[in-house]
Structure 1
Amino acid sequence: MKTVIVYKSKTGFAKKYAEWISEELSADIFEASDVNINMLTVYDTVIYGGGLYAIGINGVKLITQNIEKLKDKKVVVFATGASTSRGEVIQEVKNKNFTTEQQKYMMFFYLRGGFNYSKLKPFDKVLMTLLKWKIKNKKKKGKELTPDEKGMIAAYDNPVDFTRKKNINKLIDYVYS
């Protein structure tokens, strides 16, 4: 079984998981900017990973726009984010990123990553600062913050890393099944 891992990572969390998965599966690994769909068609298993940004998976169009060429492969997509894994959130991410038809041809996994404001590019910093202001405004108005919002505010000044190698176990088991 020939396997490839492709990832797109802004702050390093998706890259870290991609490297661990590559080690476990003895798979080839590439950054998304270094591949094209024709390179991927020679593999039996294609794994794509990217960070979540406003519930969109960074760079996943490589897979979604080429699903027809990958239908006969085992396709796995993973996303990383700072939030805990909750069923309704995972379903929302799947539905935003993949049509019902696309979901038939792939398996999706959420791997908890982290948040490091200092590693963001200027545009992403602006977006995250706007989000921070929005959350702080909510708090000023006396509204209850969600656990994710509380965690996000705390992580601005203190980066958090929730990556754990054991988080890839279900994905690895699926690939071997």
Structure 2
Amino acid sequence: MKAVVVYKSKSGFVKKYAQWIAEELQADIYEASKIDVNMLMLYDTIIYGGGLYAVGINGLKILTKNLDKLKDKKLVAFATGATPSRSEDIEKVKNANFTPEQQKYIRFFYLRGGFDYTRLKLIDKVLMNLLKLKIKSKNKNKLIPDEKGMLAAYDEPIDFTSKKNIEELILYVKAK
């Protein structure tokens, strides 16, 4: 099996998982801007990782737009975000990013990442500040735990990455 891990990481959490996965599978690894579909054709297994923004997976189109060329390969996508792994949220992300047809060919995994406001670029900081204002405008007694945690993360970065989180993905890739 010749495998490649491709990733797009804005704040380092996706990159950390991509490196762990590539190491575990002895796979090649590339930042998404350094690879194209022709290079992907050289591999039997393609693993793509991107950060989760709202419900969109950053950079995923390299897989979805080229599915007709890649569907005979083992295709895996993973996304990272700061929220806990809940099946209803994962289904929402999967259905927002993959059509039912794409879901037949691409296996999706959610790997809990983190949030570090200091690593964001200006445009992302602006967007996150808008979210912060929206959350802060709510009645403090009506904030859900995720919102309270998000507000706290602006002041103190959070990192939920764990090598243990990749185990299911690794087992899936190694299965025949």
TM-score (norm 1): 0.97
Whether 1:165 and 2:163 are equivalent positions in the alignment is: yes
Whether 1:41 and 2:41 are equivalent positions in the alignment is: yes
- Please list the CA deviations of residues 117-166 of structure 1 after superposition, one character each: whole Å capped at 9, or x if unmatched: 000000000000000000000135x5x11221111001000000000001
- Please list the CA deviations of residues 35-60 of structure 1 after superposition, one character each: whole Å capped at 9, or x if unmatched: 00010011000000000001100100
Aligned to 2:102: 102
Q: Which runs of 5+ in 1 are unaligned?
A: none
Question: What is the identity, as a one-letter code, of the residue corresponding to 1:151?
Answer: G
Aligned to 1:151: 149
Whether 1:89 and 2:89 are equivalent positions in the alignment is: yes
SS of corresponding position for 1:138: coil
Structure 2 CA distance, aligned partners of 1:120 and 1:44?
34
SS of corresponding position for 1:42: coil
SS of corresponding position for 2:78: strand
Structure 1 CA distance, aligned partners of 2:56 and 2:28?
25
Aligned to 2:54: 54
What is the alpha-carbon root mean square deviation over aligned residues?
0.8
SS of corresponding position for 1:24: helix
Displacement of 1:15? 0.2
Structure 1 segments, 4+ long, off by >4 Å, are none
Match of 2:173 among 152, 172, 175: 175
Whether 1:135 and 2:119 are equivalent positions in the alignment is: no
Structure 1 CA distance, aligned partners of 2:71 and 2:145?
38
Q: Percent of aligned pairs with the same residue? A: 69
Whether 1:69 and 2:58 are equivalent positions in the alignment is: no
Question: What is the identity, as a one-letter code, of the residue corresponding to 1:30?
Answer: Y
Count of aligned pairs? 175
SS of corresponding position for 2:85: coil
Structure 2 CA distance, aligned partners of 1:49 and 1:146?
28
Structure 2 CA distance, aligned partners of 1:129 and 1:139?
18
TM-score (norm 2): 0.98
Structure 2 CA distance, aligned partners of 1:125 and 1:92?
25
